[in-house]
Amino acid sequence: MEKSSYELVKMAARSGRRGGSFHGGYHKRNSGKGEGSHQKILRREPKVDENSPIVASFRTYQSLMDRKNDKFERLVKISRDVTIQSKRAIFHIHRINSGVDKTTVLGEADEKLIAVREKLCQIALELQGEDLYQYIRAFSPGLQEYIEAVSFHHYCLGKGLVSLTQVQTDLEFPATEKPTTEDGECPSHPAVTLYVPPIEYMLGIADFTGELMRLCITSVSSGDMDLPFQLCQFMREVYHGFSSFSHAGSWELSRKMHTLRQSLHKVENACYTLQVRGLEIPKHMLADVFSSQDSEDTGERRNDMS
C-alpha cells in the first residue's frame, strides 16, 4: 500500500524528499525499503564474497594500508620520546647559569643527546628502504627538537652555529652488535643513516634561537654581563641569514622567522637596558630587574605550550 502512494509522487519531488529525510545511517536505509532488486545486494553486504576479484584486490590494499599506518604510528611514538628527551637536554643546558660547573653540565647534556641518538637510530631503521618524505610528518617534531638541542649544546661549547654536515654525521649509525637495552631493542642492526632534510635543520635552528633568548635573560639575572651581548650578536647573524631566504617555500619557516624576530627584539631590549642601567645601578640590583622579566617570559612560554 505504501508503495503505490509512493509511486504517485513525482519523480523529482520524491528523490528530493527521500534525500532530505536520509540521515546518514547506512543500515537504516536497508531496513527502510524492502523489496527492490537491490535486496540481493543488501543481503550480500554482511558476509564478504571472498571469490570476488574486487574483494581480493581490496584485501591487498588493506594490508598495504595497515602496514603504512602502523609504521606511521610507531614513528610518531618514537618521535614523541625524542622530543621529550631533547627537551630535557635543553633544560639541563640552561643550568649552566646556576653556578654549576659548565663543563660538567655540558658533559651530562652530551650523554643525554647520545641517548636521543639511539632513538633516532630506531627511526632510521624504520625508514630503511622507504621514502623518508612519506613519513616525515610523523617524526619531524622530534627531529626538529633534537636539532634544537644539538645546536644549543654546540653553541654553548663555544663552537658557534652547528652545521648541517655536522648534524648529519652524528646521525650516521654504523652497524652494531648492541647489548639489548631496557626498551627491548633489537641487539644488532645494519648501518643506517637518518637523512636530515635541510628544511628540518633550518626549522630546528629557528627554534634554537628561542633557547638563546631564554639563556640571555637568565644569564643577566645571574650576573653575567658579557654573555648577553655575545648572544645578541650571534642572534643577529642568524636573523640576517633567515631574512635572506625567500620564504615562499615554507609556511612554517616564515612563522618561525616571526618568532625569531620577537626573540631578537627581547634580547636587544635586554642589552639596551643593561647598557643604560649598568651605568647607574649596582650589579646585584640589576639582576633583580631581569629576574622579574625572566619569570614573565617563562610564564608566557608555559601558556604557549599548553
Partner 1 sequence: MASTSTQETFSKFQEYLTKDQDIREEIRVSVREIEQTAREILTVLQGVHQPTGCKDTVSICKRSREMFVNIRRQYKELAAKLPAEQYYRFHDHWRFANQRCVFLAAFLVYLESDKLITREEAAELLGVQQRREDGFHIDLDDFLMGLLQLANEMSRLAVNSVTAGDYSRPTKIANFVAELDAGFRLLNLKNDALRKRFDGLKYDVKKIEEVVYDVTIRGLNPPPAQKPEAQTEEQ
Question: Residue 68 or residue 277: which is nearer to partner 1 going by CB?
Answer: 68
Distance of alpha carbon 263 from alpha carbon 269, whole angstroms: 10
Distance of alpha carbon 37 from alpha carbon 293, whole angstroms: 76
Query: Are 222 and 238 contacting, i.e. CB atoms less than 8 angstroms apart?
Result: no
Characterize 265-288 residue by residue with b for buried, 16 or more Cβ atoms within 10 angstroms of its Cβ, and e for exposed: ebbeebbebbeeeeeeeeeeebee
CB under 8 A: which stretch of 58-66, 108-116, 172-180, 271-279 binds partner 1?
58-66
Q: Is 242 in the site for partner 1 (CB under 8 A)?
A: yes
Q: Any bridge partners for residue 189, and if so which?
A: 176
Q: Is 20 in the site for partner 1 (CB under 8 A)?
A: no
Instruction: Sort residue 179 into left (φ over 0), alpha (ψ -120 to 50) or beta.
Output: beta
CB under 8 A: which stretch of 59-67, 185-193, 278-286, 294-302 binds partner 1?
59-67
CB under 8 A: which stretch of 127-135, 182-190, 219-227, 273-281 binds partner 1?
127-135
Query: Are 82 and 145 contacting, i.e. CB atoms less than 8 angstroms apart?
Result: yes
Query: Are 178 and 189 contacting, i.e. CB atoms less than 8 angstroms apart?
Result: yes
Return the C-alpha cell found at 64. 598495504
Choice from 9, 16, 59, 190 touching partner 1 (CB under 8 A): 59
- Tell me if 148 is assigned to a ligand binding site: yes
Site string for partner 1, 130-169 (x = CB under 8 A): -xxxx-x----------------------xxx-xx-----
Q: Which of 127, 131, 135, 68 is nearest to 60 (CA)?
A: 68
CB under 8 A: which stretch of 17-25, 117-125, 180-188, 283-291 binds partner 1?
17-25
Pairing of strands 172-173, 192-193: antiparallel
Q: Is 37 in the site for partner 1 (CB under 8 A)?
A: yes
- Tell me if 252 is assigned to a ligand binding site: no
Binding footprint of partner 1, residue count (CB under 8 A): 61
Give the interface with partner 1 as residue ranges (CB under 8 A). Answer: 3, 7, 11, 15, 18, 22, 24, 26, 29, 33, 36-41, 43-45, 48-49, 52-55, 57-59, 61-62, 64-66, 68-69, 129, 131-134, 136, 159-161, 163-164, 197-198, 201-202, 234, 237-238, 240-242, 244-246, 248-249
**Residues annotated within a binding site:** 148, 211
